Structure 1
Amino acid sequence: MKNNFFQSILTHTARPLSTLCISGLLILPFAQTALAAEMSKVSMSHSSQNENSNSSQWSKWVLTQVQSLPSIQAIETGTLVADEQRNASQQALYNPELGAFYTDNKDDEYGMILSQTIDWFDKRSANAQLGQVDYDLVMLDKVLQVEEKLSEALTAYIEYAMSEQLLAVSKDQEKLLTKLSNDLRLREAAGDVGQIDAEMAYLSLSQNLQQISLTEIRYRKARANLQQSLNSKALHYHPKTSIWVNEVPEAEIDSKVDSGLRVQLAKKQLEQSVSQSKIAQLNKKVNPTIGLGAGRDGNRNTVLLELSIPLNVRNTFSAEYSAALHRVNQTELELKEQQRLLKNNIEQSLINYKALKTRVLSWERLTGSRLKNTQKLLNKQWKSGDISTSDYLFALRQRTDTLIASIELNGEMHKAWVEWLLASSQVKKWLNSL
């Protein structure tokens, strides 16, 4: 039997190795069936998950978890502060003043006077307008921060799901190598294989242990990030994989730039600077104070009339007004910059997503037809002596690398979709639509 085994190795190595190129990896012919089997196993696992998954429940869970974060609750409280400040800006600028006077002369003179500063140029309306703009800014900033938190949560979910799958692949590889080591001990004792084959298996096993350690570290980091972003240590719901494959027309880019939250925020900041410049202009103008009172001058009743006007002589408030105008020019330029950056970000994120989606779909077409239930075929070929131990180990390594590449490629596509949603300010809208 030993002669037959080595004869099969010589026969196999004498044949030219046709290869299959998958994402830069060269898969041996006998490894293709094993790879297909493993991909089938992963695919069936995902199919089972999808059958038990509910995209609507998952999206509601993500929204609920993010809304429960203390940072989001703090933002909600901030809107209450902004609302009260808006109400305060709508109040009258000046309250009436009540005064009294007394003169100790031959004839006592005393009386009371009620005075009121007149908002002659309607500064109250300007303040109310600015208060409304400030409130709108807070509300826009709240929506933007929620979008960013949801984006962080989705990215954390994707990374956790990826690390979980990668850890499962590494552990499956460990089981295969452990079984291989045990089989080699028996075959070495029977004289079927040499010591070099056993040593190669042990080296592969030690290398895989290192890979598992690194994968476990990545998994723990992803779980910690998941807890930080979603306030959860586990995934209670899973969406269907189809939610990550979408069509986005190129014509939407310009409309997404105009409706983008950062551009809307910049426009509102421009509106705020314009309102502030109006108030700075009104501060250059003076408002008169009128007072009316009654009193006694000895035995006579007196009526008092008072008029006072501030004199903006030492400070004309021109510098403040000039600064406000410069601020308007500054915010106009900032708005143009935000439009430029957002358009570039939207275009780039869309290009990245479409390119990755094309790669993923090509990958599925390439491997989908090869997904057969031949999980044990590679092991049988090795045990029967159809392939050498070195080829067997190489096939296992290629299979693992291919599975890892598949998981990473899908994960990057999912992340690219989230980046597009964030750039186009559609994260919450997309989750609500599921």
Structure 2
Amino acid sequence: MKKCFFTRFKPVRLRVVFYVVSCISVGIVSSIANAESFGAENSSLAAPSWGSRLQQYIYSSATVTTARQQRDGETLEAKAIQASRYYSPELTTEFEREGDANNYQFGLSQTIDWQGKGKLQRTVGDYSQQLASQRFDNTLLAFQDDVLNALVVWNAAAERATLAVTQQENLNALLALIRERQRSGDIGDIDAQLAVTGLSKGLMESANARIAVQESASRIQQLLPGLPSQEWVIPSHFWRSGAVEVSPENMQQWLTRHPDVRFAESQWQLSKTKAELVSAETTVDPTLGVIVGKSDTDNVVGLNLSIPLNLDNSRAYNADAQTQLMLSAESAYRAIRQQVNNQMTAAQNTLAERYHARTSWQSLMRGRNTQGEQLLKKQWRSGDLSTMDYLQISRSLMESKAAGIDIEEQYQLASIHWLRQTAQIQTVLTTRQTENK
């Protein structure tokens, strides 16, 4: 059994500080503030329907709307091919006056489709309609992938911004304590200078973090301009708890149903049908007709048969060319199927590695960040720890938290990448919208 992993996580609680608010748009601030309530596991208001609401905005986006309109137009063209007759009946009339007599004839003829060209033409329409639908599915899947990736990147950037703000607050508080201890004579000016240096670095990191939030927010607004900011936070129930076992049978089913594979297969079948149609067109079909009329005082009834002379040698070349195109489409289909299979396997392996890295980090750091900060402050205040050591260790703790954000972000990106490669994003957004796991 192959394994891929989805694990529930507790989102980092985001706090909003005034100078972050001043640099970030109102929509971004609203979404950061909403992360406080969104992170609760038993959230029963917005979280259960987050997937369906996101889908509504995705379907109404300009990218998907354009793709849907193109699909509808191509579908109508395909239906026109299906509805058309390969050979239509032909009605002829003839009228002449000979002396005092009026002569006329009416004829009706029909070419006999002995080679089944009409059926092949309707099959061409069928595959053309399938291609239109599958092309839309490909566009939708790619756009869903872009949106979810943008949301993950923004969530991670928001957490980094919050971490930078927290560190800056701690440095401000430390500087105030240092000045207080300076007045009492406990420490010297060098400690204050160290705190100011650390605060200066923190200001730069905080600015960079806010810029990253703005850039990632701009990406979301570019993809989904109408998406409310409170929907930017991915709820915890989107990520499944525990490991998910995927059988080889399921992987093969996903491979067969993958939009890229289905699209390539439909192109192959369409090319194959066109080759059969062109080959059939190298054989001429007879035309039968019936004529009724009047000549002078006599009634006229007749039958006619016409067979075109097949003197056009270009049809054979056209048939050979279409056969080569069919072989090329078949090779492309098999190559794409193998490529998608490899991508699915690689994405699954990457997800497993990201999952193990995430769980290992969580086990290693469980409870240590909070304990470390408390112990650090206690030792510094008691004089057991110098200000330089305090700042260095405090920075190490912040870097550890930042590493945790990076690991979480990479795990989530790997999860979405796996969903993209297996074409399961639509399923997850639909089925997990009511899960509270």
The interval holding the TM-score normalised by the smaller chain is 0.7 to 0.9
Please list, as runs of the form range in 1=range in 2, the aligned pairs for 1:280-429 lying within 5 A after superposition: 280-303=278-301, 305-370=303-368, 372=370, 376-429=374-427
Counterpart secondary structure, 1:287: coil
Counterpart secondary structure, 2:423: coil
Q: CA deviation at 1:102?
A: 4.9
1:176 to 152, 170, 173: 170
Please list, as runs of the form range in 1=range in 2, the aligned pairs for 1:233-272 lying within 5 A after superposition: 233-236=228-231, 238-240=234-236, 243=240, 245-249=242-246, 251=248, 252-272=250-270
- Are residues 1:93 and 2:86 paired? yes
Name the counterpart of 1:12. none
Q: Could you tell me how far apart the structure 1 residues matched to 2:38 and 2:385 are?
A: 33
Counterpart secondary structure, 1:385: coil
Unaligned runs of 5+ in 1: 1-38
1:152 to 146, 154, 157: 146
Please list, as runs of the form range in 1=range in 2, the aligned pairs for 1:9-158 lying within 5 A after superposition: 48-52=39-43, 55-91=47-83, 92-102=85-95, 110-158=104-152
Q: Could you tell me how far apart the structure 1 residues matched to 2:290 and 2:268 are?
A: 43
Q: Aligned-pair RMSD on alpha carbons?
A: 3.1
Counterpart secondary structure, 2:383: coil
Count of residue correspondences: 396
Deviations 1:133-170 (A, max 9, x none): 22122222333322222222221111111111111101
Would the alpha carbon gap of residues 116 and 281 (structure 1) be closer, same or farther in structure 2, given more than 3 Å must change? same
Asked which structure has the greater CA Rg, the reply is 1
Q: Could you tell me how far apart the structure 2 residues matched to 1:45 and 1:279 are?
A: 64
Would the alpha carbon gap of residues 372 and 191 (structure 1) be closer, same or farther in structure 2, given more than 3 Å must change? closer
- Are residues 1:209 and 2:203 paired? yes
Residue type of the alignment partner of 1:52: S
Q: CA deviation at 1:353?
A: 0.7
Would the alpha carbon gap of residues 72 and 263 (structure 1) be closer, same or farther in structure 2, given more than 3 Å must change? same
Contact 1:284 1:316 in 2 (8 A): no
Deviations 1:27-78 (A, max 9, x none): xxxxxxxxxxxx9978x96995334366532222222221222322333334
Counterpart secondary structure, 2:68: helix
Deviations 1:215-250 (A, max 9, x none): 112111211222233442513364226526532346
Contact 2:38 2:47 in 1 (8 A): no
345-354 vs 235-244, which moves further:
235-244
- Are residues 1:232 and 2:227 paired? yes
Contact 1:167 1:216 in 2 (8 A): yes
Q: CA deviation at 1:375?
A: 5.3
Would the alpha carbon gap of residues 293 and 215 (structure 1) be closer, same or farther in structure 2, given more than 3 Å must change? same
Deviations 1:408-427 (A, max 9, x none): 10111111111111111211
238-247 vs 264-273, which moves further:
238-247
Unaligned runs of 5+ in 2: 1-10, 15-34, 433-437
TM-score, normalised relative to structure 2: 0.80
Q: Could you tell me how far apart the structure 2 residues matched to 1:51 and 1:176 are?
A: 31
Q: CA deviation at 1:108?
A: 6.8
**How much identity, in percent, do the aligned residues show?**
23
Q: Could you tell me how far apart the structure 2 residues matched to 1:430 and 1:103 are?
A: 75
Counterpart secondary structure, 1:113: strand
Contact 1:165 1:407 in 2 (8 A): yes
Q: CA deviation at 1:341?
A: 1.1
225-234 vs 317-326, which moves further:
225-234
Would the alpha carbon gap of residues 314 and 45 (structure 1) be closer, same or farther in structure 2, given more than 3 Å must change? closer
Counterpart secondary structure, 2:86: coil
Q: Could you tell me how far apart the structure 2 residues matched to 1:299 and 1:409 are?
A: 99
Contact 2:369 2:397 in 1 (8 A): no
Contact 1:223 1:234 in 2 (8 A): no
Counterpart secondary structure, 2:283: coil
Q: Could you tell me how far apart the structure 2 residues matched to 1:124 and 1:354 are?
A: 52
Contact 2:75 2:128 in 1 (8 A): no
Q: CA deviation at 1:405?
A: 0.6
Q: Could you tell me how far apart the structure 2 residues matched to 1:178 and 1:214 are?
A: 19
Q: CA deviation at 1:83?
A: 3.8
Q: CA deviation at 1:376?
A: 4.9
Q: Could you tell me how far apart the structure 1 residues matched to 2:216 and 2:172 are?
A: 27
TM-score, normalised relative to structure 1: 0.81
Q: Could you tell me how far apart the structure 1 residues matched to 2:217 and 2:302 are?
A: 78
Q: Could you tell me how far apart the structure 1 residues matched to 2:63 and 2:77 are?
A: 21
Q: CA deviation at 1:105?
A: 6.6
Counterpart secondary structure, 2:110: strand
Q: Could you tell me how far apart the structure 1 residues matched to 2:374 and 2:12 are?
A: 13
